[in-house]
């Protein structure tokens, strides 16, 4: 079986004015590992055709538009017939093909996925813009209960009906098509052997969630913050977001960001729930309920997006996925009032104007002399009447009926039938545009560019593949060592201290760079020594001797953290501790880390882990011992879990805070530090643990 994955996406040929458009079709195959397939350098996505870009509908008359639509559909179908024609025979009979491993196999190439945005899907499937390519959901139920199951689209029936329509026996066909949201009965995928067109649509994290729902949601959140006067608190928390591996700290204030692209949106999704929880802290009694629901809603969508990225699923993870979606739907109404469309707003203003005129007319007929108190009462009444009228209209008109809301309900069934979602990435299409279309157009003479674009990439691809083959052959013969693939795959790598600081050779000097009291650090050193007494090379328990031992201080600690759902792949966390010294051009940086503080069953939902801030990283050499052992240590400021590490019900997060009693500082072996932590300050000496920062943390704390 060779599952063929098709991609299509209309694009502008240049970044300026954008009058010229191209509509490329790419193909790749599912037999290639998704990691390889999604890497543009491997050139596994092939440009197959450039579709004719149809002219815009004029909108002058519905009849002309209808004709134009039919012409567009017919020509599109004709082109697709050509593109897909080679598949007809081979999907029936198979074909002997050479495989990459040197063997020949009888292959059956079958179209199994089509990656495109919603608009494109509606065109290719011949359905209305508010219809789902997979099921017959009515257009006014797109934001409804995700557990509702609708009839799966059967495109064979549509084709049958379309034939009846052509042969004149229309009957109720038009009405039927209107009901199920079908515009063109015979779409481009109709009639392919072993292909069910309703299975071709694939969930799309980038467009559906990050550029779709998250963008919408942020507008609701902004409205919500404004209503409750929490914008400043949100901006303040936004500014305080600490760094984390693979996460880029926002450089601008939230309100200054104008362009939210996929990357920024992904970043935002990883911290939004904790930032919002910080902004909505300490609600008064009237806000308490609303804040809780709003946070629940936002968190549920983030949780859904995170779990949708798992590479492998179990019945448990799938039931979580479904539960998050349900929670999102059950709580989203809290934001309904911020979903006012332009049309509704205009209508509200119109009604308001009418009401004002009406009231003014009534006033004019009244007796002139009314008391001041009465006038005030009247004005109050008038204001209330206007506010109510607007609220009524908005409540009636606002809704969540849009297709991106509905698509979410197909995610879990997709995983059940076809496996993880992340393997169908729409991003590869966008990268392909750059290499294959725009570059080809740039190099063409801009006149009848289509052919030149097609042949340009053909040459590039042939050369590229030859180079890759040579690479592999070289590797096989071991002639040249090919450089690493960029991933660090060493078996069980160690923690390493790096960035030795100058001018630090004793504990006294260490105290100076960190601005810590010598007495405090010595007290901790003695405590640490006492704990490790059974060790091979205990440090001295005499303060004078300890103070003389040579010390080296470092600015960062590299901690290998196993990648989530991967074996032997490690991500390196670089936890920084610069003491009072500046980090790069900014201020000092002393990162937050997780430390192993107890067994799995301690610290509640943190499962034995504590949050601490690095104060110093250092080595100390026991020169008084004959064995001369070296200790690699971290000086930390430890925080206490609040509410014994259980989730705070109202905010859905775990909180940590400054220690109220006992010692705050602690010295530990660097082996105790298990990775970087992400916490958002809430003022008042408390922090919110952001467990949604990456999949691994998310999977461990919930
Ligand atoms: Zn559907």
Which one has a higher pLDDT value, 568 or 524? 524
The yes-or-no verdict on residue 488 having pLDDT over 50 is: no
- Categorize the per-residue pLDDT at 485 as very low, low, confident or very high, splitting at 50, 70 and 90: very low
Distance CA 192, CA 77 (A): 13
Task: State the pLDDT confidence band at 654, using cuts at 50, 70 and 90.
Answer: very high
Query: Residue 368 has what pLDDT?
Result: 64
427 C-alpha to ligand 1 centroid (Å): 23
**Ligand 1 centroid from CA 146, angstroms:** 10
What is the pLDDT confidence band of residue 117, given thresholds at 50, 70 and 90? confident
The residue among 453 and 285 whose pLDDT is bigger is 285
pLDDT tens-digit profile of 672-687?
999 999 999 988 889 9
Average pLDDT, rounded, for the chain: 86
Is residue 512 packed enough to be buried (19+ CB in 10 Å), middle (13-18) or exposed (0-12)?
Answer: middle
DSSP H or E segment with residue 96: strand 95-98
Find the 511 Cα to ligand 1 centroid distance in Å.
Answer: 63
The average pLDDT across 529-537 equals: 70
Q: Which of 283-292, 430-439, 480-489, 693-702 has the lowest mean pLDDT?
A: 480-489
Q: How many A from CA of 214 to the centre of ligand 1? A: 20
633 SS3 class: strand
Distance 133 CA to ligand 1 centre (A): 7
Domain ranges of the chain: 2-205, 206-338, 342-397, 496-700
CA of 57 to the centre of ligand 1 (A): 27
Q: How far is the CA of 11 from the centre of ligand 1 (A)?
A: 26
What is the value of pTM for the model shown?
0.86
Query: Which residues have their alpha-adjacent CB atom under 5 A from ion ligand 1?
Result: 132, 134-135, 137
Rounded mean pLDDT, 76-85: 90
Burial category of 427 from C-beta neighbours within 10 Å (exposed 0-12, middle 13-18, buried 19 and up): middle
**Ligand 1 midpoint to CA 594 (Å):** 42
Rounded distance from Cα 417 to ligand 1 centre (Å): 15
Span from the CA of 139 to the centroid of ligand 1 (angstroms): 10
How far apart CA 97 and CA 104 sit, in angstroms, is 5
Of residues 11 and 520, which shows the higher confidence score?
520
Q: Look at residue 18 and tell me whether its pLDDT is greater than 70.
A: no
More confidently predicted of 427 and 121: 121
Ligand 1 centroid to 699 CA: how many Å?
29
Which of 117, 114, 127, 116 is CA-nearest to residue 154? 127
What is the pLDDT at residue 491?
57
CA of 411 to the centre of ligand 1 (A): 10
- Residue pLDDT, tens place only, 235-255: 999 998 999 998 988 888 888
Residue 120 CA to ligand 1 center (angstroms) comes to: 16
484 falls in which pLDDT band (50, 70, 90)?
very low
Q: Output DSSP code: residue 480.
A: S
Concatenate the DSSP letters of all residues of 524-593 into one string: HHHHHHHHTTTSSSPPPS-HHHHHHS-EEEEEEEEEEEEPTT-SS-EEEEEEEB-TTSPPTTSS--B-EE
378-390 burial, b at 16+ Cβ within 10 Å, e below that, comes to eeeebeeebeeeb
Residue 493 CA to ligand 1 center (angstroms) comes to 46
What is the distance between the alpha carbons of residues 202 and 44, in angstroms, rounded to a whole number? 19
C-alpha 324 to ligand 1 mean position (Å):
18
Q: Is the pLDDT of residue 527 over 60?
A: yes
How far is Cα 355 from Cα 382, in angstroms, rounded to an integer?
9
- Closest C-alpha to 549, from 623, 626, 497: 623
Among residues 221, 168, 227, 162, the alpha carbon closest in space to that of 191 is found at 162
Q: Ligand 1 centroid to 275 CA: how many Å?
A: 33
Residues 494 and 10: their CA atoms lie apart, in Å, by 48
Contact between 208 and 404 (Cβ < 8 Å)? yes
Residues across the chain = 702
Return the minimum-mean-pLDDT range out of 99-103, 409-413, 490-494: 490-494
The CB density around residue 599, as the number of other CB atoms within 10 Å, is 9
Distance between terminal CA atoms of the chain? 40
SS3 state of residue 195: coil
Taking the centre of ligand 1 as the mean of its atom positions, its distance from the CA of residue 463, in whole angstroms, is 42
Tell me how far apart the alpha carbons of residues 24 and 35 are, in angstroms, rounded to a whole number.
23
Rounded-to-integer distance, Cα 354 and Cα 618, Å = 74
For ligand 1, the distance from its centroid to the CA atom of residue 404, given in whole angstroms, is 10
- Give the Å distance between the CA of 149 and the centre of ligand 1: 8
CA atoms within 13 A on the CB side of 401: 13
- The Å distance, Cα 201 to ligand 1 centre, comes to 10
User: What does the pLDDT average to over 249-277?
Assistant: 89
Helix ranges restricted to H, 366-448? 372-397, 403-407, 411-418, 427-432, 439-443
Distance (Å) from CA 49 to ligand 1 centroid: 29
Q: How far is the CA of 124 from the centre of ligand 1 (A)?
A: 16
Percent of the chain with pLDDT over 70: 94
**Residues 520-531, mean pLDDT to the nearest whole number:** 88
- CA separation for the pair 302, 321 (Å, rounded): 11
Asked whether 664 and 640 are in contact (CB, 8 A), the reply is no
Q: What is the pLDDT of residues 584-628, one digit of tens each?
A: 877 888 999 999 988 788 888 888 899 999 999 999 988 877 666
- The alpha carbon of 32 and the centre of ligand 1 are apart by a number of angstroms equal to 28
How far, in Å, is the centroid of ligand 1 from the Cα of 344?
27
Judged against a pLDDT cut of 90, whether residue 74 lies above it is answered with no
Centre of ligand 1 to C-alpha 144, Å, is 11
Among 63-72, 226-235, 557-566, where is mean pLDDT lowest?
Answer: 63-72
Cα 164 to middle of ligand 1, angstroms: 26
Task: Provide, rounded to the nearest whole percent, the portion of the chain with pLDDT above 90.
Answer: 34
Q: Ligand 1 centre and the CA of 3: distance in Å?
A: 23
Q: Which residue has the higher pLDDT, 582 or 654?
A: 654
State the distance from the centre of ligand 1 to the C-alpha of 117, rounded, in angstroms.
15
Q: Output 559 or 567, whichever has higher pLDDT.
A: 559
Q: State residue 618's pLDDT score.
A: 94
Distance CA(388)–CA(377), nearest Å, equals 17
Percent of the chain as helix, strand, coil, to the nearest 5: 45, 20, 35
Q: What is the pLDDT of residue 481?
A: 45
Q: How far is the CA of 81 from the centre of ligand 1 (A)?
A: 26
At 301-351, the pLDDT tens digits run 999 999 999 988 999 999 999 999 999 999 999 998 888 777 778 888 888
Determine the Cα angle at 149 with ends 144 and 152, to 5°: 120
Distance 406 CA to ligand 1 centre (A): 6
- For the cut 80, the answer to whether the pLDDT of residue 403 exceeds it is yes
Please, which pLDDT band fits residue 269 given cuts at 50, 70 and 90?
very high
Cα of 70 from ligand 1 centre, angstroms: 25
Q: How confident is the model at residue 492 (pLDDT cuts 50, 70, 90)?
A: low
Cα gap 673→593, rounded to integer Å: 7
Q: How far is the CA of 134 from the centre of ligand 1 (A)?
A: 5
Residue 130 alpha carbon to ligand 1 centre in Å: 10
- Residue 528 — φ and ψ, nearest 5°? -60, -45
Name which of 126, 131, 129 is nearest 188 in CA terms. 126
- Give 314 Cα–ligand 1 centroid separation in angstroms: 23
């Amino acid at each position: 079986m060779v599952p063929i994955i098709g991609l299509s996406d209309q694009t502008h040929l240049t970044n300026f004015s954008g009058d010229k458009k191209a509509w490329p079709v790419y193909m790749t195959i599912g037999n290639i590992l998704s990691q390889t397939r999604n890497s543009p350098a491997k050139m596994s996505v092939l440009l197959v055709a450039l579709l004719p870009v149809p002219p815009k509908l004029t909108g002058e008359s519905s009849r002309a538009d209808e004709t134009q639509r039919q012409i567009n559909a017919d020509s599109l179908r004709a082109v697709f017939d050509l593109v897909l024609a080679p598949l007809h025979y081979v999907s029936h009979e198979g074909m002997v093909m050479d495989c990459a491993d040197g063997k020949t196999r009888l292959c059956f190439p079958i179209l199994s996925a089509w990656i495109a945005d919603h608009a494109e899907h509606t065109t290719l499937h011949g359905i209305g813009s508010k219809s789902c390519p997979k099921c017959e959901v009515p257009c006014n139920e797109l934001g409804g209960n995700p557990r509702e199951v609708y009839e799966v689209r059967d495109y064979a029936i549509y084709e049958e009906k379309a034939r009846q329509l052509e042969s004149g026996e229309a009957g109720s066909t038009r009405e039927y098509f209107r009901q199920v949201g079908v515009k063109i009965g015979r779409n481009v995928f109709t009639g392919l052997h072993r292909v069910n067109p309703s299975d071709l649509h694939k969930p799309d994290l980038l467009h559906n969630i990050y550029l779709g729902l998250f963008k919408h949601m942020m507008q609701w959140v902004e409205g919500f913050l404004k209503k409750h006067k929490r914008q400043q608190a949100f901006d303040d928390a936004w500014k305080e977001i600490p760094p984390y591996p693979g996460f880029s700290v926002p450089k601008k204030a939230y309100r200054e960001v104008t362009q939210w692209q996929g990357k920024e949106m992904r970043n935002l999704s990883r911290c939004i729930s904790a930032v919002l929880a910080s902004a909505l802290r300490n609600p008064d009694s009237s806000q308490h309920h609303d804040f809780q629901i709003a946070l629940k809603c936002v968190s549920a969508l983030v949780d859904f997006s995170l779990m949708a990225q798992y590479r492998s699923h179990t019945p448990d993870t799938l039931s979580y996925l479904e539960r998050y979606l349900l929670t999102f739907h059950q709580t989203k109404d809290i934001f309904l009032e911020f979903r006012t469309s332009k049309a509704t707003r205009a209508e509200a203003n119109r009604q308001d104007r009418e009401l004002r005129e009406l009231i003014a007319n009534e006033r004019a007929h009244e007796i002139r002399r009314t008391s001041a108190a009465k006038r005030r009462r009247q004005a109050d009444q008038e204001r209330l009447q206007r506010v109510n009228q607007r609220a009524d209209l908005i409540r009636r008109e606002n809704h969540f009926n849009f297709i991106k809301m509905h698509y979410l309900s197909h995610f879990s069934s997709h995983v059940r039938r076809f496996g993880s979602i992340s393997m169908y990435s729409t991003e590869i299409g966008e990268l392909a545009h750059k290499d294959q279309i725009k570059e080809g157009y740039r190099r063409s003479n801009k006149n009848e560019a289509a052919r030149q674009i097609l042949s340009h990439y053909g040459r590039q691809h042939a050369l590229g593949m030859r180079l890759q083959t040579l690479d592999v052959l070289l590797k096989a013969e071991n002639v040249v060592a090919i450089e690493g693939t960029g991933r660090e795959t060493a078996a069980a790598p160690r923690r390493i201290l790096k960035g030795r600081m100058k001018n630090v050779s004793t504990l006294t000097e260490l105290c100076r760079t960190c601005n810590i009291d010598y007495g405090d650090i010595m007290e901790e050193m003695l405590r640490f020594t006492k704990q490790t007494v059974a060790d091979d090379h205990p440090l001295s328990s005499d303060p004078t001797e300890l103070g003389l031992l040579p010390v080296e201080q470092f600015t960062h600690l590299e901690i290998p953290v196993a990648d989530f759902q991967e074996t032997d792949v490690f991500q390196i966390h670089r936890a920084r501790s610069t003491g009072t010294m500046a980090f790069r051009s900014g201020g000092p940086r002393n990162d937050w880390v997780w430390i192993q503080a107890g067994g799995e069953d301690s610290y509640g939902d943190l499962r034995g882990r504590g949050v601490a801030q690095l104060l110093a990283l250092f080595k100390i050499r026991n020169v008084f011992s004959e064995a001369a052992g070296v200790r690699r240590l971290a000086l930390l400021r430890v925080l206490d879990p609040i509410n014994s590490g259980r989730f705070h019900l109202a905010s859905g997060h775990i909180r940590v805070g400054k220690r109220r009693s006992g010692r705050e500082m602690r010295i530990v072996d660097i082996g105790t530090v298990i990775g970087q932590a992400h916490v958002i300050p809430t003022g008042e000496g408390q922090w919110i643990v952001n467990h949604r920062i990456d999949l691994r943390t998310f999977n461990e704390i919930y």
